[in-house]
Amino acid sequence: MGLTSETTVYVTAALAAVCVGLLVWLWPRFAARGLRQVLGRLAAIGVTQAVIIAAFACWLNSSYQFFGSWGELFGHVETAPVGVTQASGGDGTVTGVAVKGALVQPGSDEQLSRVSGLPSGPASVNGRVESVKVIGRRTGVVDPAFVYLPPQYFQKAYRRQRFPVIVALSGYPGSIFNLAQYLRVSQTAGQLQKSGQMQPTVLVMIRPTIAPPRDTECVNVPGGPQTETFLAKDLPDALKSAYRVGHDASAWGVMGYSSGASCALQLTMRNPHVYTTAGALSPDYRVKDDPTTGNLFGSGLGRVNRVNGHDLMWRLKHLPVPQVSVLVAESKHGERGYPQTQAFIRAVRAPMRVASILPEHGSHNFPTWVRELPATLKWMNQQLTFPQDVVPRHHKKGTVEAARPKPGRGTLRAEGTEPTPTATRHK
């Protein structure tokens, strides 16, 4: 039985019901005085409560996909790279390009099959979402991901065209299922692109938790998981080897919610040569140790520098400002990070640019982030450049050269024009 399967939920629920029934039936036998009877009562109550909690935890995990397998739950994750098989779709289109170095491989469809509203039918008409595993060449990390490919990716006119990329990061604890089912990243992007409000873009949904159940944030832990290296180096390299995506940083953006939003800001400000645009829904502005993270920064003389390096307010004050664009979203009432968000906005200076989404009311939850997502994606669309480089021409008779789109940043207003009502631009 898989950890997230309905069978596991039903079995644990049935065990909980049986334990409650046995407790009621056997309680009179434990009613007498004596050490044996007291221990029996304590054991019966303890076992019953443990099974009830386990049943509730299984249901909660099955619904929100915090951990995808028993191995993840107990901290055993895949680390060894494996071979890649190139798959093809039912309509005859190839779902991936040849992979160099086995950096991307087909993944399990168990979680993807439970996501509602995904594109169906011919990929050249509706696009496609693929389930893959990303292999970190430097870190050895194996991380599951969903990849949304727009319809144009499969059309003959774009056969040699590369596409911009937005990497979407989940919070902690969280999973790619949350990004697809509850935040509805690919569904929202597909609707925006179909209506002409967003240029054709590849969306990559991935979790920053590379060593579950530990929350490593986006930090290269001394002697531990190298999360920043995976997300800033391994992930882009793997995607560039497997898909027709832009090679220049101007075509790459990263977004997320909660701790994934914090990670998006960290990655962009610390690695402006990789990501030039960030969308952060309810972020924090510095990384600190807590019970879920353990010691992220090590010890010794370098600890202070490592801590400061992941404090974005410190970076804005003491380091050169990167030439990037970021968007931060925080509710004025209902979320506790509004004062910090205002302080961050005031601290940003040129050449960095910041925009904001600041609704009057909201909470630290998916309904709030779903409301903020369309404006975030449209704003990121304005910042990302549609790649003008193309893949090498195949010297084959009958090959159709791609029709290259007009230069620019999509159909929305370019940088420097008046912002939309839902996003306020700050210089």
Q: For 30-61, write each residue's pLDDT tens digit.
A: 777 778 778 888 888 888 889 899 888 877 76
The percent of residues in the chain predicted with pLDDT above 70, rounded, is 81
Confidence of residue 151 (pLDDT cuts 50, 70, 90): very high
Residue 340 token pair: 């910090």
The percent of residues in the chain predicted with pLDDT above 90, rounded, is 62
pLDDT at 218: 93
d(CA 90, CA 121): 9
Counts of helices then strands in the chain (DSSP H, E): 13, 10
3-state class (DSSP) for residue 371: helix
Strand duo 277-281 + 325-329: pairing: parallel
d(CA 15, CA 273): 54
pLDDT at 405: 38
d(CA 208, CA 231): 8
pLDDT at 83: 32
Confidence of residue 22 (pLDDT cuts 50, 70, 90): confident
Average pLDDT of the residues of the chain: 83
pLDDT at 179: 95
d(CA 284, CA 288): 10
Strand duo 128-135 + 325-329: pairing: unpaired
Kindly state the average pLDDT of the residues 146-155: 96
Q: For 251-281, write each residue's pLDDT tens digit.
A: 999 999 999 999 999 999 999 999 999 999 9
Strand duo 128-135 + 104-106: pairing: antiparallel
Residue 310 token pair: 């992941």
- CA neighbours closer than 13 Å in the CB half-sphere of residue 69: 10
pLDDT at 37: 78
